[in-house]
Amino acid sequence: MTYSRTMTRSKPQRSCSVCRVKSDKSDLIRVVRSPEGRAVVDIMKKLPGRGAYICPDSECIMNARKSGKLAHALGAVIDDDFWRQLEEAAGNSGTNAGLKVRSVLGLSRKSGLLIIGSDNIERERRKMLVLMACDCSEAVREFARKHECMLLDMNTAQLSEVIGTRGGVQIVGLPLNSGFAKKLISLKNERGIAI
Ligand SMILES: [Zn+2]
């Protein structure tokens, strides 16, 4: 009897406030409404107050922003700082390759290693890992195929935002032997598809 009870005991589950999918509580990000009525990411999942859960998923975070569902669930004011915290928490959760890719791209841009645009990539003498936005042109795809390349799970607008430039960036490159490139390749292998 004891044995079967152990077998059927399940981890506590919660629903994501945005997509409504149930997951183990430990896999979700908890957010709470602070006493001042602001939304706060509850990293340790211990803060008191009205709380809600969200998947550590870029799509759910994007939908939460667009739909206002999280603000509604919390009855709280949500500022840009909160969204940054949330994306960071999601990036660190270890469950979402897409957010990690964003963070690697952002960091590589800050480090100055990221090369933007096919003309600049072409000028590089080193072997490059080339990353394409999912809505890039056929000409860009053709160009990318000449290199070690990956199709990103983000469009030109998203890619531009991630690397902090204005305008439609369709393609970026990183030296193939850089840590950033290696990290991206391992993320791609982890997920097994375009990232
Ligand atoms: Zn969700």
pLDDT band with cut points at 50, 70 and 90 for residue 2:
very low
Instruction: Provide the 3-class DSSP secondary structure of residue 161.
Output: helix
CA of 100 to the centre of ligand 1 (A): 17
Q: Which of 75, 92, 109 is the last residue of a domain?
A: 92
Between CA 22 and CA 74 the distance in angstroms is 18
pLDDT band with cut points at 50, 70 and 90 for residue 15:
very high
Q: Which of 31, 59, 92 is the last residue of a domain?
A: 92
Contact partners, residue 64, CB within 8 Å, separation at least 6: 17, 18, 54, 70, 86
CA of 31 to the centre of ligand 1 (A): 13
CA of 59 to the centre of ligand 1 (A): 8
Q: What is the pLDDT of residue 77?
A: 87
Q: Which of 92, 124, 158 is the last residue of a domain?
A: 92
CA of 152 to the centre of ligand 1 (A): 21
> What is the average pLDDT across 183-190?
80
Is pLDDT at 6 greater than 60 in this prediction?
Answer: no
Residues 112 and 171 both lie in one domain: yes
Mean pLDDT of the chain: 86
Summarised one tens digit per residue, pLDDT across range 53-111 is 998 888 889 999 999 999 999 999 899 999 988 988 887 665 556 767 888 898 899 99
Residues 55 and 23 both lie in one domain: yes
The distance from CA 56 to its chain's CA centroid, rounded to whole angstroms, is 8
The one-letter amino acid at 130: V
Contact partners, residue 2, CB within 8 Å, separation at least 6: none
CA of 71 to the centre of ligand 1 (A): 14
> What is the average pLDDT across 138-150?
94
| Helix axes of 156-163 and 97-111: crossing angle, nearest 10 degrees | 50
Tokens 């890039």 sit on residue = 136
CA distances from 30 to 13, 25, 48, 53, 152 (A): 12, 9, 11, 5, 28
CA of 92 to the centre of ligand 1 (A): 16
Residues 81 and 103 both lie in one domain: no
Residues 53 and 105 both lie in one domain: no
Q: What is the pLDDT of residue 96?
A: 59
Is pLDDT at 8 greater than 70 in this prediction?
Answer: no
CA of 191 to the centre of ligand 1 (A): 18
Between CA 34 and CA 74 the distance in angstroms is 9
CA of 62 to the centre of ligand 1 (A): 10
Between CA 108 and CA 156 the distance in angstroms is 17
Residue 132 belongs to a domain with what CATH number? 3.30.1330.30
Q: How many domains does the chain have?
A: 2
CA of 160 to the centre of ligand 1 (A): 25
Q: 125: domain range?
A: 97-191
Summarised one tens digit per residue, pLDDT across range 28-41 is 899 999 988 999 99
Q: Which residues are near ligand 1, the ion (C-beta closer than 5 Å)?
A: 16, 18-19, 55, 60
pLDDT band with cut points at 50, 70 and 90 for residue 185:
confident
